[in-house]
Amino acid sequence: MLLGAHFTLWRGEATVSEQKTAKARPLSPLLKMAASSGVHAAVRLRLNRGDDVNATDGNGRTALHLAATRGHLQTCRVLLDAGIDLAARNRDGEDARALALAGGHVDVVALIDTYQNASNVRATAAMTQSSTGHTVVTEVPSEHGVRIKLRSAWRRYIE
């Protein structure tokens, strides 16, 4: 059952209530405050101390939802670098990109789009590689510092 929940989350088919049950850890008050305030150094510190990057508050919001709503670009970058789930939706069904767009924070929207595109390329490359046994080389825009690591059939990393 748990494996099935993770698979549907990966495919983006889970409902908000299924996402909440799959992510049982609550959002740390300190991480919530740091993300809301845009203090990216404090966000990085909380993540280094073990706070769950994908934890949610009572409204289903992640730290990325909070930072994107307020247009905190550097804080969003720290959270995205930490691997936060871009598909996470709050209780109203909104993702961080939609919240940033609603707030007019086009720089945050562009950053999220860049990470989303890199994530899609990484997933496609991994699926292609696993089905063919070959290494896939893909160019990704690195305007926001996104780096992709691909592993060849010989377990060598390509950057």
Percent pLDDT > 70 in the chain is 59
Domain 25-158, second-level architecture: Alpha Horseshoe (1.25)
Q: Which residue has the higher pLDDT, 145 or 90?
A: 90
Cα separation, 128 vs 2, in Å, equals 26
pLDDT digits (tens, 9 = 90+) for 66-98: 999 999 999 999 999 999 999 999 999 999 999
Cα separation, 57 vs 67, in Å, equals 13
pLDDT exceeds cutoff 60 at 151: no
Sole residue written with tokens 């992510």: 23
pLDDT digits (tens, 9 = 90+) for 93-140: 999 999 999 999 999 999 999 998 876 555 555 555 555 555 544 444
DSSP code for 27? P
Q: What is the pTM of this model?
A: 0.64
Cβ distance 149 to 157 under 8 Å? yes
φ/ψ of 156, rounded to 5, equals: -100, 140
Cβ distance 71 to 102 under 8 Å? no
φ/ψ of 44, rounded to 5, equals: -60, -40
Pair of tokens at residue 16: 């908000």
DSSP code for 56? B
Per-residue CA distances from 118 to 34, 38, 130, 144, 145 (Å)? 26, 24, 18, 11, 11
Domain boundaries, the chain: 25-158
pLDDT exceeds cutoff 60 at 59: yes
Residue 25 confidence class, pLDDT cut points 50, 70, 90 = confident
